[in-house]
Amino acid sequence: MMHGPPGPATKIATAAPVLRIGAVGKRFGTTTVLENCSLDVSEGEIVTLLGPSGCGKTTLLRCVAGFWDADGGAIEIDGQEMTQVAVNRRPVGVVFQSYALFPHLTVEQNVGYSLRMRGVPRSEATLRIAEALETVSLSGFEERYPAQLSGGQQQRVAIARVLIMQPRVLLLDEPFNALDAKLRGSMQVELRQLIKRLGLTSIFVTHDQEEALTMSDRIAVMRAGRIEQAATPDEIFDRPATAYVADFIGTSNFWEARADGGRVVLPDGQTVETHLDGQAQVMTRPHNLHLGSAEAGAWKGTVAFHRSVGPLVEYHVETSGGATVKVAAMRQERARPLEDGAPVSISVIDPTLCAVYPL
């Protein structure tokens, strides 16, 4: 990992990261909530911390914001160490899950709060507030109180309130949780467009896969206080680094197999290379499997049931070993979907898209 700016001759394509989280840890009493988390976020990038509740994603966010002090490691923004910097001096803007709008202040006073705290004169403040409200399409709402706003409007006020500070990093803690499903989708797209338009570096926290896949340039999948994998959605989907990531994102099939001499034999006879040795687990996605007639291959099973997922048909096949394998096929492959009870054989389309993990 590099420290300090690149020298004059080595102008690398990627500039120094805006936010650098380096081996951050956090303990509460005897419980370790974060362990050795490292992540670099580049200018204008949207990264999502994704994981189930209790995985530490919110804790990490709060450490970056300064609400909690990390027990180890470093947090740098634009190369400056943040550990000694108080919350109100960090160049970050936080959008809370509950939006935390000040109920006793108008929209205008909410949005202009940070300016008032810094002593910005009224005339300038009024202009900047109007600008911020326009950015989130809430012009004219100055005199309203938060209680009079809808959920979506409240969220936009919360965003305008931080945008006005021109923060280096935008931190959003499950901002769509409080919205109903229909609104969520459109707000996600809108927000991503806004962030990209303003070129803001952002970190989202969510437990919702769909949200992560929609909003992010990169996803950091977390579990039990550690970052398991931080990569683009495509990479995570096609090349999950661990069994946990594979299981958490998208649908996956797992089975046990034996790694021998640098190879694992797949149930249909093909092989995939691996550096592991001994008992291992193999994973592949449903769309990497194909259903053929029962006599066509060695991996046999019967169709238990099927369901439609958009343009795909997802079959649940009970194999002779007892395990259920999910196979996805395009609808147009067959005139009509296979019936329950139909005998089939399964084959792997591309062995290289099978992942081998330690047990």
Partner 1 sequence: MLRKSSLADTLGIGLILAVALLSLVLLVAPSLIVVIISFDTRAYVSFPPEGFTLRWYAEVFEQGELVEAMLNSLQVGVTVTFLCVVLGVPTALACARGRFRGTTALSVFVLVPHMVPGIVLGVAVLFAGALVGVSPSIWLQSISITVFILAVMVRTVQSRLLRLDPALEEAAANLRASPFQSLRTVTFPLLMPAILAGAVFTFVEGFDNLSVAIFTHGFRDRPLPVELLALVQYTSSPLVAAVSGVQIVLAVVALIAVSLSIGLDNVNE
Partner 2 sequence: MAEAALPSGIGQPGLGERTVDALLSGRGIWPAVPAIFVLMIVAIIPFMILLSLGFSDIVVARGAIVSQTLSLSHLSNALSDPLYWTTFQRSLSLALSTTALCFVFGYPVAYLFLIGGRWTKRLILVLTIAPLLTSGIVRTYAWLVILGGRGVVNSTLMNIGLIDEPLRIMNTHWAVLIGMVQIHLPVMILPLIAVMSRHDSRLVEASENLGASRLGTLRHVILPLSVPGIGTGAALVFTLSYTTFVVPQLLGGGNYLNAATMIYEQVVFSLEWSKGSVTSLILMVTCLVVLVTIALLTNHFTRWTKGREG
Q: Which is nearer to partner 2, 78 or 190 (CB)?
A: 78
Please, what is the minimum distance in Å from the beta carbon of residue 214 to partner 2?
29
121 makes contact with partner 1 (CB under 8 A): no
Does 131 contact partner 2 by CB under 8 A? no
Residue 130 CA: distances (Å) to CA of 114, 123, 164, 197: 14, 11, 10, 18
What DSSP designation does 85 have? S
Residue 72 CB, shortest distance to partner 1, in Å, is: 20
Q: What's the CA gap between 212 and 214, in Å, rounded?
A: 5
Burial (0-12, 13-18, 19+ Cβ within 10 Å), 270: middle
Residue 309 β-bridge partners: 312
Is 67 a binding residue for partner 1 by CB under 8 A? The answer is yes
State which residue, 117 or 298, has the beta carbon closest to partner 2. Answer: 117
What the block records as the tokens of 159 is 């965003």
**Binding segment (CB under 8 A) for partner 1, from list 41-49, 89-97, 255-263, 276-284:** 89-97
CB of 127 to partner 2, least distance (A): 15
Residue 156 Ramachandran class (φ > 0 left, ψ -120 to 50 alpha, else beta): alpha
Give the span between the Cα atoms of 287 and 325, in whole angstroms. 11
What CA–CA distance (Å, rounded) separates 45 from 142? 31
Q: How far apart are CA 7 and CA 300, in angstroms?
A: 60
Nearer to partner 2, 104 or 118 (CB): 118
Q: Contact with partner 2 (CB under 8 A): which of 2, 117, 198, 359? A: 117
User: Least distance to partner 1 from the beta carbon of 172, Å?
Assistant: 12
Within 46-133, strands assigned E span: 46-50, 72-77, 80-81, 92-95
Token pair listed for 144 = 């309203």
Q: Which stretch binds partner 2 (CB under 8 A): 116-124, 196-204, 264-272, 283-291?
A: 116-124
For the CB of residue 150, give the shortest distance to partner 1 in the complex, in Å: 19
Q: Is 125 in the site for partner 2 (CB under 8 A)?
A: no
Residue 50, classified by CB atoms within 10 Å of its CB into exposed (0-12), middle (13-18) or buried (19+), is buried
User: Which tokens sit at 283?
Assistant: 């994973």
Q: Which of residues 53-112 bind partner 2 (CB under 8 A)?
A: 77-78, 80, 86, 89, 91
Stretch that binds partner 1, among 97-105, 131-139, 186-194, 330-338 (CB under 8 A): 97-105
Neighbour order of strands in the sheet with 226-231: 92-95, 169-173, 201-206, 46-50, 218-223, 226-231
Q: Is 119 in the site for partner 2 (CB under 8 A)?
A: yes
Judged by CB under 8 A, the residue of 98, 139, 166, 271 near partner 2 is: 166
Which positions from 132 through 171 interact with partner 1, judged by CB under 8 A? Answer: 161-162, 165
Residue 78 binding result from partner 1, partner 2, none, given CB thresholds of 5 to 8 Å by partner type: partner 2
Site residues for partner 2 per CB under 8 A: 77-78, 80, 86, 89, 91, 117-120, 166, 168
Site residues for partner 1 per CB under 8 A: 65-67, 86-90, 92-94, 96-98, 100, 102-104, 113-114, 116-118, 161-162, 165
